[in-house]
Amino acid sequence: MTDQEKTTVEGEIATLEGKLTGDMFQDMEIRDKIHNLKMTLEGVRPSNSEFECVGCGS
């Protein structure tokens, strides 16, 4: 992931975090998106990805 891509993903995370209301049920979808973006930043395969993880083979 390039520095530009990292910056873009971090910006998306910040935008989504700004939309959180504090209501667990209302925020569930937003928190899921934030979680998936953070996994992308860290190089972890999201559970809904069809691609295999290079590091662990899962």
Residue 27's pLDDT is 97
Containing structural domain, residue 23: 3-42
Q: Per the structure, how many domains does the chain have?
A: 1
Would residue 53 count as lying in a domain? no
Would residue 27 count as lying in a domain? yes
Q: Would you give the end-to-end CA distance of the chain in angstroms?
A: 21
How far apart, in whole angstroms, are the C-alpha atoms of residue 33 and residue 2? 20
pTM for the predicted model, two decimal places: 0.73
* Lookup: tokens for 1: 């992931």
Would residue 29 count as lying in a domain? yes
pLDDT digits (tens, 9 = 90+) for 11-52: 999 999 999 999 999 999 999 999 999 998 998 865 556 655
Would residue 7 count as lying in a domain? yes
Residue 1's pLDDT is 82
- CB 28, CB 18: distance < 8 Å: no
Would residue 14 count as lying in a domain? yes
Would residue 36 count as lying in a domain? yes
Query: Mind giving me the DSSP string for 1-58?
Result: --HHHHHHHHHHHHHHHHT--S-HHHHHHHHHHHHHHHHHHHTPPPTT-SSPPTTT--
Would residue 51 count as lying in a domain? no
